[in-house]
Amino acid sequence: MLVVTGANGFIGSNLVAALRRRGDEPVAVVDHFEAVRYPDALGDGPRIAVNDLPAWLDAAGDRVRGVYHLGAFSSTSVTDRPAVIANNVTYSQTLWRWCADAGVPFVYASSAGTYGDGSKGFDDEADPSTYQPLSLYAESKQMVDLWALLQTHAPPRWAGVKYFNVYGPNEAHKGTQASMAYHWFKQVRDTGEARLFKSYKDGFADGGQQRDFLYVQDAVDATVHLMTAPGVDNGLYNVGTGRPRTFADLARAVFAALDQPPKLTFIEMPQNLRAQYQYYTRATVDKLQRSGFTQPMHTLEQGVSAYVEQLRAVEGASA
């Protein structure tokens, strides 16, 4: 049996759906289930409350064949440090120790946010302590990465996955934290325009801020690869396309997918975001490719087109 935490969330629900399609193992899902957002993805396997997982693992024992740990406080605006440390750091360490004791592979979600403002690059083979995260969320992810690299008692296989800017189905519940592909789909559909932040940094035009935009299907495929492919080294891995694109490119892709002429409007960025805003991200993916993950990833236009088609289908089904 495979265990997926954060299964009621964005990447987690897509991962569970992919694992169920593969059919290699039954999947137990872990999250807060007061509201089940994506029942079709989660299936009818065991559903485990977050706080019950350690005891459940002890009872399950050698039936567990792998743990994907994607659950976390994921908002970059959360400021409750004790809660973030408890949920993102201590809980991750608890699962790591269980997997190490049981000899079970462990793949956990880190974040590209650990790289901070990008001025020192985005190299998953560099010393991660040289980077300075800009949010408490990203700091918590870096704390786990640094701790994991120091452990001598470790799962037989482990990977910390530094996802870059993921977009795609099952993210609507994230609200303001959802991708701009989702927000611009709604804006363009409702108003015929897309609103983009102005730039406040020399060398970046309005809308010229760049991200390594990653379609969620590619994020899931890479995550499963790191758990299952033979010969993968333990460690930290960037998961991105390696090809940054501008926010203006993303907006235009949404217009194209909706078959509408582009109309971009530039607005002021809120003051509280300016100090922690990343103007450029680009995953170095040499390590991931050396691990054997060489499948083509969706281009921005391909991913946005598939995503808009899915959003339209969901809206049509609920109409």
Point out the residues that are catalytic: 137, 174
Q: Is residue 69 within 8 Å of residue 5, measured between CB atoms?
A: yes
Closest of 224, 236, 54 to residue 147, by C-alpha? 236
In sequence order, which residues have a C-beta less than 8 Å from that of residue 33 and are 6 or more positions away?
8, 47, 49
Q: Give Cα 127 to chain centroid, integer Å.
A: 22
Give the Cα separation of 54 and 90 in Å (integer).
12
Q: Which residue has the tokens 């995503």?
A: 307
Q: Is residue 307 within 8 Å of residue 258, measured between CB atoms?
A: no
CA angle 166, 125, 154 (to 5 degrees): 90
Question: What is the token pair recorded at 53?
Answer: 């997982």
Say which DSSP state 307 is in: H
